[in-house]
Each structure stands twice: as C-alpha cells, then as structure tokens.
Structure 1
Amino acid sequence: MGKLADALEKSGYGEYGTDRAATTDKGSPPDRTDEVKASPHPEPHQPTVSQANKKGRTRRTKGDGGKWDERLFKAVNRDSYLPEIFKTLRSRILHPPDGVEVPKTIMVTSAIPKEGKSFVTANLGISLAQGLDQYALLVDCDLRRPALASLFGLSTSPGLVDYLRDESDLGDLIAKTSVDKLSLLPSGETPVNPAELLGSARMEGVVKELSSRYDDRIIIFDSPPFQVASEASVLARRVDGIILVVREGGAGKPQVRMLMETIGPDRIIGVVFNAYTTNVVERSLMKGYGYYQQTY
C-alpha cells in the first residue's frame, strides 16, 4: 500500500492545512445569485474539472468547486429541519454506546433505487465536515448510476474506476468540494464490470488505506442499491458500519426487513427515513427551533 500512501501525500490529501477548499460556501442554484450575495455563504467559483499531468494522464486540479445541485443547496442553506436531522445522525456516529468504537468507514445504501441514498450521503458528509474535529471523504461507489459529483457541481470523471482499472494515481483523483474539510472521490466513467471492480483486492486496499491513514477522517461510501447490484454486498463486508435509507412510498417493509437481516442488525448504525411528509405542527416547531438557533 506504499504507492497508495505516496499518492495521497503527493495530492496534499494528507496535509490538513492544505486539504481545505479555498472557500467554505455551499454554492447556489443559477437563478439565486442575488440571494446568495446577501447571505453568509458566498457564491463559489466555477470549477475547473481537470488538467493533464506530466505523464499525460488526467488529474484533477486542486480546489475544484462548482454550483451545487439546487436540492442540496436548499437543504443545507434554507431548510431548518434537515440539517438538524443530520446533526443527530452525526452525533450517533461520533458518540456510539460504551464499548463501541467510532466507525471510520461507513456505507450508505438502500434496498432499491431512487430512495435518496446519494442525497443522504452528501448531507451526512457536509454535517461531519462542519463539526469541530472531523474531516470527511465521500467515495462514490455507485459505478452504475453515480450521483455525488453532480450534487457538488463536480465532474464524475476521472475517479475511482480509473484507479481500480487503469491504476491511476489515487491522489490525482480526489477532489475538494467547496465545503471546508470535505473531499470527494468520484466514480469515474461507468465501467462494463462494476461488480468485478468493487470486489477486487485493489478496492479492498483502498478501503483499508483510507480508513487507517488518519484518525480524524471518516470515509463514507455511497454504494449501489442492495437488491439490484451484487457489489453492494461485497462492499458491506469491508466497512465498519452501514446506514440504510428508506424512502416514504419506496421499498416495502418485507424488502427492508430482508435487507436488515442480510446485513445484520449489529452492523447498522441507523435508518434514515427519507422524504417524510411533515405536518403543520412539526413544520411550525422546527421553524421556531431554527430561529432560536440563529438568534441565540
């Protein structure tokens, strides 16, 4: 794993003082420029996706940052309810029961597609990075339908596939987001053999190296849906804990129950119930709580 470690050091990934984005904003949708200027979150620069290195390979430029997906931007900047939910999940991760170690590697998955697991992964990474002591690295392992890079306004390629298949330098593939202390390893171009790549010894080495290298960095893997991609079960065996995403109106109770039994209840950190419809009373309470947070 020496080569992998050298690649991380060369990229600046290991130097906490240089592994920070040039700005700490959250980006903005294209039609909200005026609002962003008036807010405490300035609009980020446009991303420069990649450039050729001396070996002729494609590498990411440092500080790549683009305009976020509008849904993610609104969830982080204009919603008083969602950020508190992810802070609760963050607390569960960082403060487990007595005798249980804080997980270094976490996999976010769902039973079926379109449950919102990538959205949950992005928000959890942001929440962890906004804490006082933790850094977070998101790894997009949904090689069939990647979504993380587009949520942060970054390019999907080059990424993890390039490292697993072509032995590109891993350090050249890790991109900074516009959130301080949050980095992203995109998926790369969709391969013809995603199950084989994620099940390879090289992928196992990635998980081990990233998890053991830094004490204050939590690695979050966005995996494919469990019941439609065999590689999800392979990745599940290599991480410390798993978060399940269940969407209201999505996977049924039998599917979720079967998934929990397959993974094992002791390995599940939590279950995120996504797209829950709040009632008027709940929204009123959370709105007041958000105001309390801002005022005091």
Structure 2
Amino acid sequence: MLRTQVVQRLREVKGSTLAVTSPRAGEGKTLISCNLAVSLARLTDLGVLLVDLDLRRPSVLSTFGFAPTNGISDHLLRGVPLADCFVDPGIDRLLVLPGGAASPKSSELLSPVLMSKLTAELVDRHADRIIVYDLPPVLMIADALVFLEHVDACLLVVEQGRTRREDVTRCLELLEKINVIGTVLNKTRAATQTYGYGYGY
C-alpha cells in the first residue's frame, strides 16, 4: 500500500517530511495528500500533520468538508498566531494546518526565508509527527520547486488519461535533485476513486 511504501522510504532517509505535488492542476494531488495523511495517521503511532501549501488554491479543508478558516497565508500576511490556525479534523492522530485565504502572493509567501522559518517551527513543534505538505503543481508556478528543498522526500501525482507523458518527463527533470520516492497514478475518473504507486510512468 502507498502508506507502507511512504513510511519505509522515509525511514530509509531518516526523514519525517513529505511533499505531494503534480505536474498540473486537477490531477488529484490534494485528494491523495488527504487520503495519505488519514491512512498514515491510522497506521503509525507518531501522528500526522497535513499542511496545505497550495496557497493560490488551498483546498485541504474543503476536501475534509470544513469551511475555510485562518491558515498559513493569514499567519504570514496578517500575523495570526500559528497556534490558532491548526484544525482538528476529528481523526485520531491527524492535525491539519490550512492554507488560509487564497493569496496571489504565494510565491512571496513561499520564499526560502519564510519557509525555512516555518518548516523549522513545524518540525520543532511536531517532532512526533510525519508532516505531509500539499504543494502547488510543479509546471504551473515555481512555488513547489522553491519549497522542495525543505522536505525529506516527494511524491509526484499523475492522473490516468489526463496527465501527458511529456509533463511527467519535464517534472522529473525539474525534480532531478529532489528525493522523489515514487509516482502515484491517480484514477479519479473511475467510478470509485483509486490510486496506484510506482517508480516510473
């Protein structure tokens, strides 16, 4: 299963932070991020923190059925205390840090200086959790690439029948120096949403 592979690969690199991204929008990365976070929370004793860093189109909360609330963009732009931004989705050992209000300034908010401080704070506060980051699509804006230096590993989500092979090739070229631990084949157009896991496309 995906969660087992992720835990194994994180242990191999002695890491606890994982980014999930995709080539383009609409390929199911947020749904995969949410499903993976829930699955990891049920599997591990460590707990999971799911962080929505797709600040232009934050949708983790809505995926769980919650209304928008303060999140990372509100913390960075308006000084809302980070401690006031966390959401308990009602799932044991899972905590969510929303993206907050959609921001066209996401590239500025995801700058190396701000993200270095934020990720260090999250790791320090939640040393007992696996941290999963839902990132923007790699080929649409530079935000994801800027951030990936702050994580131990990355998953690339592609959608069956939608993602173009050349997009995957380009993504893997851009992510050459990143620890990409696998590619998730998302089948969102099937009657029942499923996904597979692999190391190629």
For residues 126-152 of structure 1, what are the alpha-carbon distances to aligned partners after superposition, in whole Å with 9 as ceiling and x for unaligned? 011102412111111111112110011
1:231 aligns with 2:143: yes
Which of 190, 203, 208 pairs up with 2:120? 208
- Which aligned segments of 4 or more residues in structure 1 are displaced greater than 3 angstroms? 212-215
Give the distance between the partners of 1:93 and 1:145, measured in 2 at CA: 25
Give the distance between the partners of 1:253 and 1:265, measured in 2 at CA: 20
Which of 135, 154, 166 pairs up with 1:242? 154
TM-score by length of structure 1 reads 0.60
Structure 2 match to 1:119: 31
Q: Larger relative contact order (C-alpha < 8 A, sep ≥ 6)?
A: 2
Structure 1 match to 2:97: 185
Q: CA deviation at 1:277?
A: 7.7
Q: CA deviation at 1:120?
A: 0.1
**Aligned partner letter, 2:141:** A
Structure 1 match to 2:195: none
**Aligned partner letter, 1:92:** Q
Output aligned runs, 1:1-296, within 5 Å.
Answer: 88-96=1-9, 100-264=12-176, 267-275=179-187
**Aligned partner letter, 2:70:** P
Give the distance between the partners of 1:201 and 1:97, measured in 2 at CA: 25
Q: How well do the aligned residues superpose, as a CA RMSD in angstroms?
A: 2.0
Q: Which runs of 5+ in 1 are unaligned?
A: 1-87, 279-296
For residues 58-104 of structure 1, what are the alpha-carbon distances to aligned partners after superposition, in whole Å with 9 as ceiling and x for unaligned? xxxxxxxxxxxxxxxxxxxxxxxxxxxxxx22212222398x33431
Give the distance between the partners of 2:178 and 2:134, measured in 1 at CA: 20
Distance 1:191 1:277, change over 3 A: closer
Distance 1:250 1:165, change over 3 A: same
Give the distance between the partners of 2:181 and 2:158, measured in 1 at CA: 14
Structure 1 match to 2:199: none
Q: CA deviation at 1:155?
A: 2.6
For residues 1-48 of structure 1, what are the alpha-carbon distances to aligned partners after superposition, in whole Å with 9 as ceiling and x for unaligned? xxxxxxxxxxxxxxxxxxxxxxxxxxxxxxxxxxxxxxxxxxxxxxxx
Contact 1:94 1:102 in 2 (8 A): no
Q: Which runs of 5+ in 2 are unaligned?
A: 191-201
**Aligned partner letter, 1:243:** L
Q: CA deviation at 1:222?
A: 0.5
Q: CA deviation at 1:276?
A: 7.0
User: Going by fraction, where is strand more abundant, 1 or 2?
Assistant: 2
**Aligned partner letter, 2:24:** I
**Aligned partner letter, 1:145:** R
Aligned length: 190
Give the distance between the partners of 1:159 and 1:270, measured in 2 at CA: 29
**Aligned partner letter, 2:3:** R
Distance 1:150 1:266, change over 3 A: closer
TM-score by length of structure 2 reads 0.87
